[in-house]
């Protein structure tokens, strides 16, 4: 058997290190490569088709798409803010505020982003000027038409009827990051609560608890309905319409009469990210690209020049029919709400 | 041809060679296991906001809060229940596999391992479909067999998650026990029976004690995997909280990484305590 010699060992080691080094090079983004982010599934497809493709065509640069979630992406930027591994972040509105407050994100101005002029200013203000919303959905009531002939019109009716055992409802679990906003805040608001006083929501949960199941991720909700575990639940408009388009004709969506929470998707650029990010972001805010994006995802978009297709127009809840949560205030109470949920609902 | 003196010394030094052969694995573990663990522990004692001194505050807060203690206890109780059931189911299967299956043993091993070839999410979803309120099991119990008058809600308690975990983990128990059972000399059992012991007594006083090591190893393996289990509780737990779920929540929802690190370290201590138990069991057998 061949024996290991010092020369052999060092040679093999050097080759391995060299190969590793070569392999690692793309991580330190080349000048003409942008690292952008997307949720998985149809989202990724829409991001590639509607934003990455026009960006690459116009700039000649390449964009790689990192899949994951806002919390993970923000942690990556926090770990290395001087050399962020990502150039464009998709964020939940509350995390966008957190990131802005920590000084990790760049200012959004019309000078850098000409298409920002068509985005309502309140969406940029909601990100403290360091980002904006480009897409939104509404959290409301999705129900199985075969079982629920007379669905609740709003959150109050939902709570009453679920508490009485008329339905089993599938609601988001606290492990689903946006739950404190589109579920806790929206229902609490509808029941007369405030950011400072979430008692109405937690009292309602106690009443409903024996008739609730919890979904941890958006796909679980559909499984709950499809498997017959739940009759209705709290879900998003766009995702409901996606299922309808896939041939699931037995579900429908209601925007609660008290108003569903606008669940926006923010976009931000880390301070030291590549300047190419501005070109990409400008594509994300362009009316024609957002229009295509909306058509694929069935969600509303924020550019005021967008004309929705005839299929989508009746489905999208107009911005003025949604409630915009006070994200900055919610960021302050979110952890306390999560802790209270754990203690009062989680068991 | 004579080799260069340095090469000879290098190759012939068994100690140095052992060190060099171990180096890649040790380096890998240091970088991807030990360093992250140390970083995690350091984060758990990091100064509080505005402070400068290392602190055990998070541990004190966690360990003095009845809610967190209860979550930890529940995590341990559920893992213990999964372990006991897995061993109770796994032992007879292992016995059958080693002592009775003969040429069918290959098939049994395949059947044991086959479920592990599908994703845990798919298997968990299968449980969801079977035990849903309008699912197959309720359909049988209520409509076909008329055993129940109303459909049961299985998802509100940890019972279904325990059953699903047992389903996943029984193969680990079987394989651990079977490997030890295989080493038990059949002549010892035959000898006991020749001396008048009944098959049950032979099993109880000869076979079982000789397989304690396999039971111990299987139990530790099952317990530790159940203890860190995440997906099954997320999908089937029905709001039931365990320590891994709380850790995920701290990362994903509240972004309180320091508390998550504290919880992770506590979970790690529990895992290390289990390994220590296993070592004690093995050493006891060796003496």
CB contact under 8 A, B246 and A342: yes
Say what the pLDDT of residue A248 is: 93
Q: Shortest Cα distance from B4 to chain A (angstroms)?
A: 10
**The dihedral sign for the CA sequence A128, A302, A232, A148:** positive
ipTM above 0.95, yes or no: no
CA distance A46 to A38: 9
The confidence band for A23, taking pLDDT boundaries of 50, 70 and 90, is very low
Interatomic CA distance for residues B215 and B91, integer angstroms: 8
> Could you tell me which residues come within 8 angstroms of residue A149 by beta carbon, excluding any fewer than 6 positions away?
none
Coil, strand or helix at A145: coil
Query: Is the pLDDT score of A14 beyond 70?
Result: no
Query: Hey, of A97, A214, A219, A220, which one would you mutate to test binding to chain B, going by the most B CBs within 10 A of its CB?
Result: A214
Report DSSP state, residue A251: E
pLDDT of residue A318: 86
Whole-number Å distance between alpha carbons of B73 and B71: 5
Helix, strand, coil share of chain A (percent; to 5): 45, 15, 35
On whether any CB of chain A is under 8 Å from the CB of B76, the answer is no
**Contact at CB, B254 and A334, closer than 8 angstroms:** yes
Mean pLDDT, residues A210-214 taken together = 90
Residues in Cβ contact with B122 at an 8 Å cutoff, skipping those fewer than 6 apart: none
Nearest CB among A175, A229, A346 relative to B132 is that of: A229
Mean pLDDT, range A166-190, rounded to an integer: 91
Residue A30: pLDDT band with limits 50, 70, 90: very low
pLDDT on residue A174: 87
Strand A169-172 with A212-215, pairing: parallel
Q: So what's the pLDDT on residue A124?
A: 96
When mean pLDDT is compared across A195-209, A265-279, B1-15, the lowest value belongs to B1-15
Kindly tell me the sign of the dihedral angle through the C-alpha atoms of A12, A15, A16, A17. positive
Enumerate residues 6+ apart whose C-beta is below 8 A from A107.
Answer: A129, A130
Nearest to B59 by CA among B253, B281, B276, B268: B268
Looking only at the bridges linking them, the beta strands covering A33-38 and A62-67 are parallel
Judged against a pLDDT cut of 60, whether residue A238 lies above it is answered with: yes
Residues in chain A within 8 Å Cβ distance of B128: 223, 227, 229
B255/A74 CB distance under 8 A: yes
| Per-residue pLDDT of chain B in tens (287 residues, 90 and over written 9) | 445 555 555 555 788 888 889 999 999 999 999 999 999 999 999 998 888 888 999 999 999 999 999 999 999 999 999 999 999 999 999 999 988 887 888 888 888 888 888 888 888 888 888 888 888 898 899 888 888 888 888 876 788 899 999 998 999 999 999 999 999 888 998 999 999 999 999 999 999 999 988 998 899 899 989 988 888 888 887 777 889 999 988 888 888 889 999 999 999 898 888 778 777 776 665 44
Judging contacts by C-beta atoms under 8 Å, the chain A residues touching residue B134 are 227-229
Architecture of domain B66-286: Orthogonal Bundle (1.10)
Q: Which chain A residues touch B67 with a CB distance below 8 Å?
A: 342-343
- Dig out the tokens for B112 from the structure: 């044991």
Instruction: Give the residue-averaged pLDDT of A97-121.
Output: 95
Tell me: pLDDT of A31 over 80.
no
And the tokens for A213?
């199941």
* Dist CA B50 CA A21 (whole Å): 39
**How many residue contacts between A and B have a Cβ separation below 8 Å?**
92
Contact B248 A175 (CB under 8 A): yes
Q: What is the pLDDT of residue B10?
A: 52
Hey, are the CB atoms on A4 and B156 less than 8 Å from each other?
no
pLDDT at residue A8 is higher than 70:
no
């Amino acid at each position: 058997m061949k024996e290991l010699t010092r020369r052999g060992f060092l040679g093999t080691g050097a080759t391995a290190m060299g190969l590793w080094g070569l392999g690692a090079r793309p991580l330190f983004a080349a000048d003409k490569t942008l690292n952008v982010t997307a949720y998985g599934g149809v989202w990724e497809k829409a991001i590639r088709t509607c934003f990455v493709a026009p960006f690459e065509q116009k700039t000649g640069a390449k964009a790689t798409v990192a899949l994951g979630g806002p919390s993970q992406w923000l942690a990556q930027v926090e770990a290395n803010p001087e050399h962020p591994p990502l150039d464009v972040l998709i964020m939940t509105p509350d995390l966008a505020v957190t990131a802005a407050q920590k000084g990790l994100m760049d200012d959004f101005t019309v000078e850098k982003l000409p298409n920002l002029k068509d985005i309502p200013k309140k969406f940029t203000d909601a990100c403290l000027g360091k980002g904006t919303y480009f897409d939104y959905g509404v959290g409301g009531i999705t129900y199985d038409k075969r079982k629920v002939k007379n669905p609740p019109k709003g959150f109050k009716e939902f709570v009453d009827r679920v508490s009485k055992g008329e339905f089993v409802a599938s609601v988001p679990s606290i492990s689903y990051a946006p739950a404190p906003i589109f579920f806790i805040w929206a229902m609490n608001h509808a029941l007369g609560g405030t950011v400072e006083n979430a008692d109405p929501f937690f009292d309602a949960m106690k009443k409903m608890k024996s008739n609730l199941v919890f979904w941890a991720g958006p796909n679980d909700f559909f499984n709950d309905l499809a498997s017959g575990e739940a009759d209705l639940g709290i879900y998003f408009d766009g995702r409901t319409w996606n299922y309808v388009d896939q041939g699931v004709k037995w579900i429908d969506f209601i925007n609660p009469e008290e108003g569903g929470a606008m669940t926006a998707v923010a976009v931000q650029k880390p301070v030291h990210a590549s300047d190419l990010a501005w070109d990409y972001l400008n594509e994300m805010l362009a009316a024609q690209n957002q229009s295509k994006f909306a058509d694929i995802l069935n969600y509303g978009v924020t550019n005021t020049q967008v004309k929705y297709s005839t299929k989508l127009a009746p489905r999208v809840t107009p911005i003025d029919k949604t409630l915009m949560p006070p994200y900055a205030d919610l960021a302050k109470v979110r952890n306390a709400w999560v802790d209270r949920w754990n203690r009062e609902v989680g068991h | 041809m004579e080799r260069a003196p340095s090469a000879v010394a290098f190759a012939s030094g068994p100690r140095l060679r052992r060190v060099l052969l171990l180096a890649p694995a040790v380096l890998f573990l240091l970088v991807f296991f030990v360093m992250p663990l140390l970083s995690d522990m350091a984060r758990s004692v990091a100064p509080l906001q505005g402070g400068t001194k290392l602190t055990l505050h998070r541990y004190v807060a966690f360990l003095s809060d009845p809610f967190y203690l209860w979550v930890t206890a529940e995590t341990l109780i559920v893992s213990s229940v999964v372990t006991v059931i897995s061993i109770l189911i796994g032992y007879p299967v292992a016995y059958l596999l080693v002592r009775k299956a003969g040429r069918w043993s290959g098939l049994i091993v395949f059947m044991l391992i086959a479920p592990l070839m599908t994703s845990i999410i798919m298997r968990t979803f299968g449980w969801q479909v079977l035990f849903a309120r309008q699912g197959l099991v309720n359909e049988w119990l209520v409509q076909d067999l008329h055993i129940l008058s109303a459909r049961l809600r299985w998802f509100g308690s940890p019972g279904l998650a325990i059953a699903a975990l047992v389903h996943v983990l029984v193969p680990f128990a079987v394989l651990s026990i079977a490997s030890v059972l295989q080493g038990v000399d059949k002549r010892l059992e035959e000898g006991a029976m020749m001396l008048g012991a009944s098959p049950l007594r032979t099993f109880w006083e000869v076979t079982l004690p000789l397989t304690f090591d396999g039971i111990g190893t299987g139990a530790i393996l099952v317990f530790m995997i159940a203890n860190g289990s995440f997906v099954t509780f997320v999908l089937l737990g029905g709001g039931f909280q365990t320590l891994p779920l709380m850790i995920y929540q701290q990362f994903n929802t509240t972004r309180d990484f320091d508390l998550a690190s504290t919880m992770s370290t506590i979970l790690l201590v529990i895992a290390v305590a289990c390994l220590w138990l296993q070592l004690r069991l093995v050493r006891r057998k060796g003496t």
